[in-house]
Every structure is written in structure tokens, then in C-alpha cells.
Amino acid sequence: MEIALIIVNAFLVVCIFALILMLKYAYMSGKRVRINFDEMTGLLNRASFFMQGQSALDKLDKSKHGEVALVVFDVDKLRLINTLYGTADGDDVVCAFAKTLRSLAGKGDVIGRVDTDDFAFLTRLRGRTSEELAEQFAETFPQYIANASVRDQVNYYAGVCIFDGQDDIYTLFNKANLCLLTHADDQRVSEFSGDMEQRMVENEIMRTEMLNALDNGQFELYYQPKVEFKTGKIIGVEALIRWHHPIKGLVPPCDFIPLAEQFGIITKIDEWGLFTACRQGKIWQDKGLPPVKISVNMSQAQFVKTDIYATIVKALDETKLDPQCLEIEVTETMAMTDVEHTVNVLNKVHALGVSISMDDFGTGYSSLASLKAIPFDVLKIDRSLVCDVNDNDTSRRITSAIVAMCKAMKMVVLAEGVETDEQSKLLTDLGCDLAQGYYYSKPRTADEIEEMLRAEVDDHAENSAC
């Protein structure tokens, strides 16, 4: 009898123990299921996409390699959509991606949300070319977006890599991703090719060279005068970077600034530019030249990734340049990207006495709201409007309207890229205050600017420009 009781008790203990283990396992696997998926879309998350993607490649009949593609999608400016329309519409865009990919997927395809605004789609082409697949996506995607304005505005880029039978999922992904890094702005879909790898190698060399350039003093600031239309007097200069490359010679900024932005080096370069420009401004003043305002270009990364306010305070403090003699140039697109943050930072910078100018006005999203919120002192009309202001009625009317708006908002208006006497006369008649352009002077070295300023001192010894 006692033995039977012991056996029953032991049996019960084993059952309870087994039950605990089962509950624990159920709990753990439930947890695992939950972390495998992206909550918003229900798609695989990054880690699971790579795991399941690799397992799908392993199962493939390798002779069918040309028939499988990995497409990486990047939602363009999702943050801007969130800011302009609200996060509900931003989320709607993300979900539209998920719905579209699900509608295009077939058996064995793997879909993941691999970053906030990136999706990966490993798919069998099933007789379609990658272009046809991209077309199917482009037709379906807008149908899932509820807000018509968002539907018109939203854009995306896609990088495609066809499976060669050898790559693992990570290599395949990196290659598709490389298309996203190297595509032209107007190329929505790009497919991986061997020369991209070559370009990647070249870019990597460029990245190292740029970092060395900073350490080895290969960058130099040139300065382009800003003049008063009415008097022709230099009231400021814009600092424009040049790279003395040991082999390529003098490299203009358009050949390396976009890459520096891509590589995340731009913040270092811009910081160097800010300190150098402030130092140069002080040197000119110490030499008894009139205190011209120095403008420095700021990249978007400078706002997003660094404490630009602290950097400016430090630069002014170390160089002892009067804040009234510093101006920073911000583009419309930058001002629109994270309005709240930008307004906050620019207000603080402005309170130091530093001027703020809106660069390239008329090229990006022209927003009157950002003009109202940000304390712009100067608005620079882009060269694309100035270049045909004499021949094109629309350019002239737009320029005239911009001038009227600037006057109403008590902003100084500067015309960029003035190249001819006719442009100069018309822009003066239209009421522009300041000019910058080859007609007055190309960007010049600090020494050359010093000579120009010295010549002005002789002409207008009594005047001070800032």
C-alpha cells in the first residue's frame, strides 16, 4: 500500500515537473515567435529575414540560380512624410510596402522589414524580368496608400541583385544594398553589376583619401565675395571648400561632398570648414581690413548628427571672431527635414548674433511655413532662376515675387550666380540687395580676397561692412 502511494506521488511530481517544462517552453517559443516579426507590418524582422533567406537559398536547386532575385527597397524621406503628414500616414506607407510585397510574393519567397524604412524581398522571378517585377510593384504600391497627397509625394528606391548560385544571403543583400548607395537620384530601380563593386572599391579609396586629406591639410577654403548691388562693395564672403588631391589636382566640392555625406565624413569636413573660416575672418580683421561677414555652408548631417550649436559656440570662442561676422547657410530641404529640431537649433544660433541664410531658394520644397518659423536674415535666390532672368518671363516673375516676399519679411535678398551686366541691372531693378557670381568675382584664395579687401579699404576707408 505504502509503495503504491510512493509511486503515485512520484508520478504526480514527474507530471507537475513536465507541466512546468511544457509551460516554460510554450512561453519561450511564444516569445520567440513575437520577436521574429516586425510588429507594425507582421513581416519578418531583420535577423529572421537573414535566417529564413539563407535557409531558402540553401534549399534552392542551384542550377536555377538566375531565377531568384533579392530586392531591397528604401522608402525615400519617410521621416519627412512623418513630419509633414503625421506618423499615421507614415505608418500607412510602411504598411503599403508590406501589403504590396505580400501581394507579389509566391511560395518560398521571403519578405522582411530590415530597417525602419528598408524592406528586403527574396523572390523567384517566375518568368518575370527584374524590370517587370519592379513595374508590378510600382503599379500595386500606390493602391495601398490611403492619403492622396502622400500617394503623390511618396518615393522609394529599389536595389536588385540576381542570385548567382554562390552568394550567401548577406552578400546578396550587400550587393542589392550597394545599388541603393550608388544609384542616380532619378533612377528608381537599379540592378547590381560587377562594375558597381569596382566603384565600391574606388569609393572606399576615396573615403580613406578624404580622411587623410583632413589630417594632411589638403583641404583649402576659397572665398567668393558677396557684393551690394547698388555700390558694388564687398559686404561678405562665402567659404567654399577645395581639395588639393595629390594626383587629381584641385577637386571641386561637387566631386567629393556627396561622397563625404554618404560616408559620414561630412561632419568632420564641415567642422574643419567652420573653424578655418572663423579663423580666417579674424586674421583679416587683425590685419585692419573691414570686418566682412563670412558665410559657411552646413550639411544636413551637421544638424542631425552633431550639436551644431555647441560647435559654433566653440569656434567663435576659440577664434575670437565676432558672432555678427559669421553667417551659416542652410538649404530649404535641410530646413524642411526635421522642422522642429532645425527651428530650435537655428533660433539658438541666431540668438548668439550669427546670421542665417537660406541657400539655393527655389530648388527644393519651397515652404513658406519654414520661412516663418526659422529666423532667416538672408534668402539666396538659386542660380537656376538667375541664369535666365533676362530671357524667361516666369523666372523674372518668380524672382520679383521672391523679392517682394523678402521685403515683407524684412529679409535681405541675394541673387546667386550673377554672370552678366544685364542680369546685374535687371536684378537691381527688381529690388535684390546683394549679388554673388562670376560677374563680380569667382571664388578666390584667402590671399587674393585680402588683396581685394585692401583695395576696398583704399576706396572706402571709412565704411565697415558688418
Smallest gap, in angstroms, from Cβ of residue 383 to ligand C2E?
6
Q: Taking the CB of residue 333, how many other CB atoms lie within 10 A of it?
A: 16
Instruction: Name the minimum Å distance from CB 253 to ligand C2E.
Output: 4
100 is an interface residue for ligand C2E by CB under 6 A: no
Q: Does 359 bind ligand C2E (CB under 6 A)?
A: yes
Q: Which three cell numbers stand for residue 13?
A: 511530481
Between residues 117 and 360, which has the closer beta carbon with respect to Ca ion? Answer: 360
Classify the C-alpha dihedral 209-214-216-220 as positive or negative. positive
Closest by Cα among 124, 123, 118 to 46: 118
Binding segment (CB under 6 A) for ligand C2E, from list 97-105, 127-135, 156-164, 250-258: 250-258
C-beta of 32 vs 425, nearer to ligand C2E:
425
Which entry of Ca ion, ligand C2E, none binds 299, CB below 5 to 8 A by partner kind?
A: ligand C2E
- In whole angstroms, give the CA distance from residue 101 to residue 103: 5
What are the cell numbers at 49? 529575414
Beta bridge partners, 240, equal 222
421 Rama class: left (phi>0) / alpha (psi -120 to 50) / beta: alpha
Please state the closest distance from residue 416 (CB atom) to Ca ion, in A: 5
Please tell me whether residue 417 binds ligand C2E under the rule CB under 6 A.
yes
**Residue 252 in contact with ligand C2E, rule: CB under 6 A:** yes
CB of 245 to ligand C2E, least distance (A): 15
CB closer to ligand C2E out of 150 and 385: 385
CB of 329 to Ca ion, least distance (A): 4
Q: In this chain, which stretch among 29-37, 49-57, 252-260, 457-465 interacts with ligand C2E, using CB under 6 A?
A: 252-260
Of positions 190, 224, 280, 370, contacts ligand C2E by CB under 6 A: 224
Select the residue interacting with ligand C2E from 45, 174, 280, 299 (CB under 6 A): 299
Contact status: 240 vs ligand C2E (CB under 6 A):
yes
Q: Rule CB under 6 A: is residue 281 a binding residue for ligand C2E?
A: no
> Distance between CA atoms of 222 and 296, rounded to whole angstroms?
11
Q: Is position 362 an interface residue for ligand C2E (rule: CB under 6 A)?
A: no
Per CB under 6 A, 337 contacts ligand C2E? no
Q: Does 441 engage in binding with ligand C2E (CB under 6 A)?
A: no
**Per-residue 3-state assignment (H helix, E strand, C coil) for the chain:** CHHHHHHHHHHHHHHHHHHHHHHHHHHHHHHHHHHHECCCCCCECHHHHHHHHHHHHHHCCHHHHHHEEEEEEEEECHHHHHHHHCHHHHHHHHHHHHHHHHHHCCCCCEEEEEECCEEEEEEECCCCCHHHHHHHHHHHHHHHCCCHHHHHHCEEEEEEEECCCCCCHHHHHHHHHHHHHHCCCCCCEEECCHHHHHHHHHHHHHHHHHHHHHHCCCEEEEEEEEEECCCCCEEEEEEEEEEEECCCEEECHHHCHHHHHHHCCHHHHHHHHHHHHHHHHHHHHHCCCCCCEEEEECCHHHHHHCCHHHHHHHHHHHHCCCHHHEEEEEEHHHHHHCHHHHHHHHHHHHHCCCEEEEEEECCCCCCHHHHHHCCCCEEEECHHHHCCCCCCHHHHHHHHHHHHHHHHCCCEEEECCCCCHHHHHHHHHHCCCEECCCCCCCCECHHHHHHHHHHHHHHCCCCCCC
Q: What are phi and psi of 356, to 5 degrees?
A: -125, 130
Residues contributing to the site for Ca ion (CB under 5 A): 297, 329, 359-360, 416
Q: Considering beta carbons, is residue 113 or 226 the nearer one to Ca ion?
A: 226
Residue among 254, 368, 408, 461 that touches ligand C2E (CB under 6 A): 254
Q: Which of 11, 25, 170, 438 binds ligand C2E (CB under 6 A)?
A: 438
The three cell numbers locating residue 125: 522571378
Q: For residue 271, state whether it binds ligand C2E (rule: CB under 6 A).
A: no
Which residue from 443, 446, 453, 465 is in contact with ligand C2E, where contact means CB under 6 A?
A: 443
User: Rule CB under 6 A: is residue 389 a binding residue for ligand C2E?
Assistant: no
Of residues 202, 416, 450, 462, which has the active-site annotation? 416
Minimum CB–partner distance for residue 417 and ligand C2E (Å): 4
Q: Determine the size of the site formed for ligand C2E (CB under 6 A).
A: 21
257: contact with ligand C2E by CB under 6 A = yes
Based on the residue annotation, tell me whether 220 is a catalytic residue of this protein: no
Residue 253's binding partner, choosing from ligand C2E, Ca ion, none, with beta-carbon cut-off 5 to 8 A by kind? ligand C2E
Partner whose footprint covers residue 438, from ligand C2E, Ca ion, none (CB < 5 to 8 Å by kind): ligand C2E
Residue 241 binding target from ligand C2E, Ca ion, none, CB below 5 to 8 Å by type = ligand C2E
- Min dist. Cβ of residue 331 to ligand C2E (A): 7
**Residue ranges that bind ligand C2E, judged by CB under 6 A:** 224, 240-241, 252-254, 257, 266, 270, 273, 297, 299, 329, 359-360, 417, 419, 436-438, 443
Catalytic residues: 416
